[in-house]
Amino acid sequence: MEDKINRCLCCGEPVKNKYCNVSCQNKHFWKGRKKSKETIEKRLHTIKNKWKTFKVSCYKCDVLFDVDEYNVSEPKKEKYYCSRSCANSRVWTKEDKKKKSDIAKQSDKVMEANKVIGIKKTIKYRDFSKIGYCLICGSVYNTNKTKKKTCSTRCHQNMLSNIQIEMYKNGENYVAGGTTEWLSVNTSNGLIKVQGSYEVRTCRILDTLKHNGEISEWEYTSDKIQYVDIKGKTRNYLLDFKVLDKDGSFYYIETKGFKRENDELKWTQTRRIGHKLLVWFNEDIIKEEEKLMSLKSL
């Protein structure tokens, strides 16, 4: 017959007696009970009385100072230091230094660092004798790469920005945050590629306004401005349409299906630097189309 296994009355773990530790005993004792104010004060008083203050001398400079020890009748340590400077000024023997060094060498952090250092030592010296010519600023620089085209990260980013603008202009790029379809449309300025049906309808409206003599010219522009987004990062905003008025001034038209989180910052910055900007949503495009239809019917 198997012996009966005692289990802790609090957590249920196998134990020799009733509880596995003092913590479980206290939890089980106070479970469902409310501690009175007198009980709490008595406990705090007991704990406070167990703290004792001793006068000890600094092992380094022999200065007397007070230390507090809990539940003892005499100081626990043989050596006490009055300050961190005294504690750190001890003389380390060769045996102590060797012992600490051996312990440190076996630590995971040091072993991982040694692996990285070993990898770096195996890397061969790279020859930077090749001459490069920056495509953006035209400066001469030394490099070890034959296909490098710019002298710095800033010039490289400017090169990529120019490539993206050219791709956007040719209809080979997508709108950031979406995949609006590129469509070809015949206009008074020839065959151009625009994004989405809203821009196609805007092209037809602008062509009609130009034909009626209400505007001088318009273009699907690649003009851009810089603005700071909601995360504090500087970005480029590429405008949609540039319209030349009869008095020689111009303004921009932005077509939108719905407003995104950074749109208001883009529009505010465009107007802040002195440009006139009209934002056409679907309802605005419908109003312009109805206005032109009513004029045509007259």
Domain residue extents for the chain: 51-85, 122-173, 174-297
The reported pTM is 0.44
pLDDT score, position 56: 93
3-state secondary structure the chain: CCCCCCECCCCCCECCCCCCCHHHHHHHHHCCCCCCHHHHHHHHHHHHHHEEEEEEECCCCCCEEEEEEECCCCCCCCCCCCCHHHHHCCCCCHHHHHHHHHHHHCCHHHHHHHHHHHHHHHCCCCCCCEEEECCCCCCEEEECCCCCCCCCHHHHHHHHHHHHHHHHHCCCCCCCCCCCCEEEEEECCEEEEEEHHHHHHHHHHHHHHHHCCCCCEEEECCCEEEEECCCCCEEEEECCEEEECCCCCEEEEEECCCCCCCHHHHHHHHHHCCCCEEEECHHHHHHHHHHHHHHHHC
pLDDT of residue 179: 57
How does pLDDT run across 232-269, given as a tens digit for each residue? 888 889 899 999 998 989 999 999 988 888 899 999 99
> For 189-205, what is the mean pLDDT?
90
- Per-residue pLDDT band for 298 (boundaries 50, 70, 90) equals low
Q: In the prediction, which pLDDT does 177 show?
A: 43
Q: What is the mean pLDDT of residues 52-73?
A: 91
Q: How confident is the model at residue 111 (pLDDT cuts 50, 70, 90)?
A: confident
Residue 174 confidence (pLDDT) = 47
Which pLDDT score is estimated for 291?
Answer: 87
Choose between 119 and 214: higher pLDDT. 214
How much is the pLDDT for 47?
85
Q: What is the pLDDT of residue 128?
A: 67
